[in-house]
Amino acid sequence: MYLAIKRRSPTRHPGADRSQLAGATIQRMPDHDGVTLPHALTVGADRTLRAGTTRRRFLTWSAVVAGIAMTPQLCPGTASAEGSADLFAPAPRDNPFRLGVASGDPLPDGIVLWTRLATDPTAPRGGMTPGSVAVRWELATDPRFTSIVRNGQELATELDGWSVHVDVRGLDPARDYFYRFIAGPHRSTVGRTRTAPRLGAPLSSLSFAWTSCQRWDQGLFTAWADLAQAAPDVVFFLGDYIYEYPIPATGPRAGQPRPESVTHEQMSLEDYRDRYALYKSDPNLAAAHASSPFISAFDDHEVENNWAGQISEDDVDPRVFLARRANAFKAWWENTPVRANLRPVGPDLNAYRRFTFGDLVDFSVLDTRQYRSDQADGDGVHKQDAVTADPARTITGAAQEKWILDGFTSRSRWKFLAHQTVISDLARTTGGERKVDVDQWGGYEASRHRILDGARERGVSNLASIVGDIHRTVVSELKRDYVDTSAPVQGVEISATSISSAGDGADVDSQGKAIAAASPHVKFGNARRGYARATLSPTNWRTEIRVTDSVSTPNSPMRTAATITVPVDRPEINVS
Ligand code: FE
Ligand code: CA
């Protein structure tokens, strides 16, 4: 029931109405109302992003604006903004690159470059004054930019929170590149990124990392500095990039500057933008983004704790919740290095997508929030029952479920699901009863049956699942059913712990003990903060569990709590 926010018809092609493209008109359009421009052009039937396919039909917002309204020298890929300053606000006097740079969604021939302008991240609107700013970008094969292979210009518009998403194409596969942005006299820091290997080409090794849950007020982002040092080929962020809650004055971040909006729960687009600006001012997070391309998914806290489809945590009117979801999605898109075609349309954002690396691995990145049924039994920790097993309920939605199953037929050696929360039951016994958290797949048993049965039917002998959400490392066997002891082990799931959510933690805590006691399929657990980093080869998936003992004091050392090795063709967990 999208009563509050109307979807634009795909037939309203933006190019047909130039008057709407005048800068002042665009900037006055309500933020949640979605502009008419790129949305209509971005819905593709093939959700697998591959080199050489249909991506060029996707026009970016700035490309459309530039192509219609600008003089030729302002088309992307050409000269500077000089001579047309009347179309833009002048470049800010202060350095506008305070939120850093990022790259993401690597393809064999392309990468997304991201920045968002803010001269003062904790001030309203990041300290920016109204008006668009021309931002040049450069991509080179060396960090000194002696060999620039691509460059161009984008408009950072107020409408998009002064964010920039550049979709660079025509690059070489499996190659490091360096990039930076320029606005007036200001230069951003330099980011390093890397394209994906050629599709289907033999690939002997891929390094990757994954993590989630970086609640700013609960701990320092020490893990990101360690990850930046490692600079893996690609980093997966699997949800809870921000938290929507008010931020207390106390805690490990006491005294650090913060926006005025931290005093209330985030609701408006400006609130969410403030929150991203705050998080992105962290130097360790910025260093991680500058070190490696990210592939990003959202979970609940980018919007609201434990939301499900159109249903909010507190069951507010769905029309009201969808307006909030639209604000949250818009801010997520503005602040995430994803392609322009993920730009939300009102409260809808097509975030599930697949990335393939050579002949080695597919990562299917899921969205298990937007299309899910409401949590069973009022949410929380419960016994599984007829509701959790109801085949009419779903955590993926029907369309995404079919897309996941279709992906299992690919020729890639490994099949990974990169997503939000555990497929495995992390059962514990309370009051003599076996219970699970029904926000996880254990509360959507029929979805688990359909995905794991579908994997088996399609010959996937060892499905891999990487997740976050639970603020602990948990390594477990994937099975369609954890009560039926005859159900075979079909894969391996590794939940990476949180960057900072839940504070210092412990190697072993009471909840970890309870899970281990009631869940014999769990082979390792740890409740410190950190991330997981892995090397994948045609024969092995080797994961180092990187943790630190403290996120309440700066520069606490990181260590490897365990190394998990899984062979390619059988779901066997080796812990050392
Ligand atoms: Fe979280
Ligand atoms: Ca979560």
Sign of the alpha-carbon dihedral angle for 544, 550, 552, 554: negative
In this structure, which ligand is nearest to the CA of 369? Answer: 2
Q: What pLDDT, on a 0 to 100 scale, did the predictor assign at position 503?
A: 98
Distance (angstroms) between ligand 2 centre and the Cα of 204 equals 33
Query: Do 369 and 421 touch, CB atoms closer than 8 A?
Result: no
Q: What pLDDT, on a 0 to 100 scale, did the predictor assign at position 6?
A: 28
Q: What pLDDT, on a 0 to 100 scale, did the predictor assign at position 315?
A: 87
Query: Do 233 and 537 touch, CB atoms closer than 8 A?
Result: no
Distance (angstroms) between ligand 1 centre and the Cα of 301 equals 7
Give 421-477 pLDDT, tens digit per residue: 999 999 999 999 999 999 999 999 999 999 999 999 999 999 999 999 999 999 999
Sign of the alpha-carbon dihedral angle for 82, 88, 91, 97: negative
Distance (angstroms) between ligand 1 centre and the Cα of 24 equals 39
Distance (angstroms) between ligand 2 centre and the Cα of 240 equals 6
In this structure, which ligand is nearest to the CA of 501? Answer: 1
Q: What pLDDT, on a 0 to 100 scale, did the predictor assign at position 90?
A: 82
Distance (angstroms) between ligand 2 centre and the Cα of 370 equals 13
Q: What pLDDT, on a 0 to 100 scale, did the predictor assign at position 5?
A: 33
pLDDT tens track, the chain, 576 positions: 323 332 323 333 333 232 222 222 222 223 232 222 222 222 233 333 333 323 222 333 233 333 333 333 333 333 343 444 445 678 899 999 999 999 999 999 999 999 999 999 999 999 999 999 999 999 999 999 999 999 999 999 999 999 999 999 999 999 999 999 999 999 999 999 999 999 999 999 999 999 999 999 999 999 999 999 999 999 999 999 999 999 999 999 999 999 999 999 999 999 999 999 999 999 999 999 999 999 999 999 999 999 999 999 998 999 999 999 999 999 999 999 999 999 999 999 999 999 999 999 999 999 999 999 999 999 999 999 999 999 999 999 999 999 999 999 999 999 999 999 999 999 999 999 999 999 999 999 999 999 999 999 999 999 999 999 999 999 999 999 999 989 999 999 999 999 999 999 999 999 999 999 999 999 999 999 999 999 999 999 999 999 999 999 999 999 999 999 999 999 999 999
CA nearest neighbour of 541 among 316, 205, 74, 262: 205
Query: Do 378 and 326 touch, CB atoms closer than 8 A?
Result: no
Distance (angstroms) between ligand 1 centre and the Cα of 53 equals 36
Mean pLDDT (the chain, rounded): 87
Report CA 75 to chain centroid distance, whole Å.
30
In this structure, which ligand is nearest to the CA of 497? Answer: 1
Distance (angstroms) between ligand 2 centre and the Cα of 28 equals 34
Pair of tokens at residue 46: 């093939």
Distance (angstroms) between ligand 1 centre and the Cα of 213 equals 4
Q: What pLDDT, on a 0 to 100 scale, did the predictor assign at position 485?
A: 86
In this structure, which ligand is nearest to the CA of 298? Answer: 2
Contacts of 264 (CB under 8 A, 6+ apart): 246, 271
Query: Do 139 and 81 touch, CB atoms closer than 8 A?
Result: no
Distances in Å between the Cα of 151 and the Cα atoms of 68, 409, 491 are: 20, 38, 44
Distance (angstroms) between ligand 2 centre and the Cα of 297 equals 11
Distance (angstroms) between ligand 2 centre and the Cα of 239 equals 6
Distance (angstroms) between ligand 1 centre and the Cα of 235 equals 17
In this structure, which ligand is nearest to the CA of 440? Answer: 2
Distance (angstroms) between ligand 1 centre and the Cα of 243 equals 8
Distance (angstroms) between ligand 1 centre and the Cα of 45 equals 32
Ligand 1 being an ion, which residues bring their Cβ within 5 A of it? Answer: 213, 240, 501
Task: Say which residue the tokens 């097509």 belong to.
Answer: 350
Distance (angstroms) between ligand 1 centre and the Cα of 395 equals 18
Distance (angstroms) between ligand 1 centre and the Cα of 99 equals 22
CA nearest neighbour of 164 among 107, 100, 228: 100
- 6-41 in b/e form (b: 16+ CB < 10 A) is eebeeeeebeeeeeebebeebeeeebbebbbbbbbb
- Which domains, and CATH codes, for the chain? 101-194 (2.60.40.380), 206-575 (3.60.21.70)
Q: What pLDDT, on a 0 to 100 scale, did the predictor assign at position 88?
A: 66
348 φ, ψ (degrees, to nearest 5) = -110, 135
Distance (angstroms) between ligand 2 centre and the Cα of 467 equals 10
CA nearest neighbour of 172 among 192, 155, 149: 149
Query: Do 174 and 195 touch, CB atoms closer than 8 A?
Result: yes
In this structure, which ligand is nearest to the CA of 421? Answer: 2
Distance (angstroms) between ligand 1 centre and the Cα of 67 equals 41
Distance (angstroms) between ligand 2 centre and the Cα of 148 equals 40
Distance (angstroms) between ligand 2 centre and the Cα of 502 equals 12
Helix (H) or strand (E) holding 136: strand 133-140
> Which residues are bridge partners to 168 per DSSP?
111
CA nearest neighbour of 226 among 501, 508, 556, 565: 556
**Distance in angstroms (rounded) separating the CA atoms of residues 239 and 306:** 12
In this structure, which ligand is nearest to the CA of 297? Answer: 2
Distance (angstroms) between ligand 2 centre and the Cα of 3 equals 28
Other beta carbons less than 10 A from residue 82's beta carbon: 8
Distance (angstroms) between ligand 1 centre and the Cα of 220 equals 15
What is 334-380 written as a DSSP string? HTS---GGG--BTTB----EEEEETTTEEEEE---STTPPPPGGGSS
Pair of tokens at residue 174: 């499996």
pTM above 0.85, yes or no: yes
Distances in Å between the Cα of 487 and the Cα atoms of 7, 213, 449 are: 44, 32, 11
Tell how strand 163-168 and strand 148-156 pair up: unpaired
Distance (angstroms) between ligand 1 centre and the Cα of 497 equals 9
Distance (angstroms) between ligand 1 centre and the Cα of 191 equals 27
Greatest alpha-carbon pair distance for the chain in Å reads 75
Distance (angstroms) between ligand 1 centre and the Cα of 438 equals 15
DSSP SS3 for 385: coil
Distance (angstroms) between ligand 2 centre and the Cα of 368 equals 11
In this structure, which ligand is nearest to the CA of 212? Answer: 1
Distance (angstroms) between ligand 2 centre and the Cα of 468 equals 8
Helix (H) or strand (E) holding 478: strand 473-478
Distance (angstroms) between ligand 1 centre and the Cα of 501 equals 6
Radius of gyration in angstroms for the set of CA atoms belonging to the chain, rounded to a whole number: 23
Contacts of 432 (CB under 8 A, 6+ apart): none
In this structure, which ligand is nearest to the CA of 213? Answer: 1
